[in-house]
Chain A
Amino acid sequence: DVKVTQSSRYLVKRTGEKVFLECVQDMDHENMFWYRQDPGLGLRLIYFSYDVKMKEKGDIPEGYSVSREKKERFSLILESASTNQTSMYLCASSQTKIYGYTFGSGTRLTVV
């Protein structure tokens, strides 16, 4: 089975800190995605990548950046964390659209 691993389950950071959320997949998938999930708002796409070093903005990219230097790793960066970025962050990958998404277990980030 494909495995998508997010490095931290829970994270607490201070306002203004630079935060790195890491996601690694082990099945050579082309596409990787970062979503955030908030009560009442559902899942919203932040960024996605369809190839190494390629990235595209999703629906809510403000305040975030991403890095994909290797195919298996997709990092989400909060340049200067703010309290409104407190959320559940979910990473997903897919080989192609045909095979759907596989999600990681999520990172619950709290910014204080």
Chain B
Amino acid sequence: KQEVTQIPAALSVPEGENLVLNCSFTDSAIYNLQWFRQDPGKGLTSLLLIQSSQREQTSGRLNASLDKSSGRSTLYIAASQPGDSATYLCAVITSGTYKYIFGTGTRLKVLA
């Protein structure tokens, strides 16, 4: 059974720092991996989607990498800003299924 873990559960950094959020999964037979952002009381906003055949995806200050063999993905945020404060979730679809399995998220706070 696929399990997704995100460490750390919470992170507080000063503005301007580069930071890395981690996501690990137990079954490497995934179809794709998606990173989301969630603001308090709101829905999930898609940040990056990485197909199983890809190694990384970039969007602006965000870069996500995928290493299927080791069951890991990282989300790199460059030059963090207070507006980046949110909870970040990763999710994977295991091959042969329709549904995402979600990690419990990393709550990020960027201090001005």
Contact = CB atoms under 8 A, between A and B. Distances in A.
Nearest to B51: A98
Interface stretch (B19-27, B63-71, B97-105): B97-105
Report whether over half of chain A's contact residues are helix, strand or loop; otherwise say mixed. strand
Contacts of A99: 49
Interface in A76-98: 88, 90, 92, 97-98
Contacts of B31: 97
Contacts of A103: 36, 43-46
B41 interface: yes
Name the interface size band of chain B.
20 to 34
A45 B104 contact: no
Name the interface size band of chain A.
20 to 34
A102 B45 CA distance: 7
B34 interface: yes
A48 B99 contact: yes
A100 B34 CA distance: 7
Nearest to B105: A42
Interface stretch (A11-19, A66-74, A104-112): A104-112
A101 interface: yes
A33 B100 CA distance: 10
A100 B32 contact: yes
A97 B36 CA distance: 16
B74 to A, nearest CB: 18
B44 A100 contact: no
Interface string B49-69: 101000000000000000000
A98 B32 contact: yes
A22 to B, nearest CB: 15
Interface of A: 6, 31, 33, 40, 42-43, 45, 48, 50, 56, 58, 88, 90, 92, 97-106, 108
